[in-house]
Amino acid sequence: MSLNKPIWKLRDWIEESKINYGELSRNSNDKAIELLIENKKKIEWSILSYNTNDKAIELLLNNQNKINWSKLSLNTNDKAIELLLKNENNIDWYNLLLNTNDKAIELLLKNENKINWSNLSLNTNDKAVELLLKNQDKLNEFNLLLNTNPKVIHLLQEIYNNNPLLLYYYIPSNPLIFELDYKTMKKNNEAMEEELIKETMKPSRLFNRIADYGDDYLELMFG
């Protein structure tokens, strides 16, 4: 048993008797899963099917007749994907297109006839974006404007050039509309550097350092 293993508990101000177990089924904390295991009759299995906690997946594996396969198709846990691979007939391909797990994208690549390009345009996985870049004539511009993968930024710019109004209404929520202002950052750093040099070179500070370190300090500062 690891001494570093975290042990979770409910906060003192939360009454266990008042917990909504439907919403708790959404919680990925280990303690939440422990409480669900202790209260199986209260589990919302549809919601649990989307829970990415390993113990939640184990609970689903042991109760496969209660799995909501549509929700599981959105689950990014590797074990959830493995379960889907063993039950391809139960996959909700429409939801799998939103799944950002690499293995989910690999499965889609093997089943390109199942791809809905509108949904895939929302997928932020690098491999999904690579597929979109290779099939730009198929992507959904509206959904792509919501995609936060940095690799789509040049496509967003193209969309803007072709239809500025479209960008104005649909992209403000996307963090990619902002970029680091290196010019201002450099200017601020130069100002800080100047202040630091002034502070370092104060006569009183220099005299104190010379008193502490002698000629070695002068050699270090001025060569």
Residue range(s) defining the domain that contains residue 215: 182-222
Q: Is residue 27 part of a domain?
A: yes
Q: Is residue 157 part of a domain?
A: no
pLDDT band of residue 186 (cuts 50, 70, 90) is: confident
> What type of residue sits at position 8?
W
Whether 159 contacts 135, CB under 8 Å: no
Q: Is residue 169 part of a domain?
A: no
Cα Rg, the chain, nearest whole Å: 27
Q: Is residue 174 part of a domain?
A: no
Q: Is residue 163 part of a domain?
A: no
pLDDT band of residue 53 (cuts 50, 70, 90) is: very high
| Domain end (from 71, 87, 103) | 87
Q: Is residue 140 part of a domain?
A: no
Q: What angle do CA 93, 97, 98 make, to 5 degrees?
A: 125
pLDDT at 192 over 90: no
Residue 2 pLDDT: 53
Question: If you write DSSP's letter for every residue of the chain in order, what string do you get?
Answer: --TT-------TT--GGG--HHHHTT--SHHHHHHHHHTGGG--HHHHTT---HHHHHHHHTTGGG--HHHHTT---HHHHHHHHTTGGG--HHHHTT---HHHHHHHHTTGGG--HHHHTT---HHHHHHHHHTTTTS-HHHHTT---GGGHHHHHHHHHH-HHHHHHHSTT-GGG----HHHHHHHHHHHHHHHHHHHT-HHHHHHHHHHHTHHHHHHHH-
| Residue among 19, 9, 69 at smallest CA distance from 39 | 19
Q: Which of 29-33, 48-52, 96-100, 140-144 has the lowest mean pLDDT?
A: 140-144
**Structure confidence by residue, pLDDT tens digits, 6-50:** 889 999 999 999 999 999 999 999 999 999 999 999 999 999 999
| Domain end (from 48, 63, 87) | 87
Whether 90 contacts 79, CB under 8 Å: no
Burial of 96 (0-12, 13-18, 19+ CB in 10 A): buried
Q: Is residue 124 part of a domain?
A: no
- pTM, 2 dp: 0.79
Write the Ramachandran bin of 214: left for phi over 0, alpha for psi from -120 to 50, otherwise beta.
left
| First-to-last C-alpha distance (Å) of the chain | 57
Q: Is residue 205 part of a domain?
A: yes
> What type of residue sits at position 71?
K
Domain count for the chain: 2
Residue 187 pLDDT: 83
Residue 197 pLDDT: 60
Residue, of 211 and 102, whose pLDDT is higher? 102
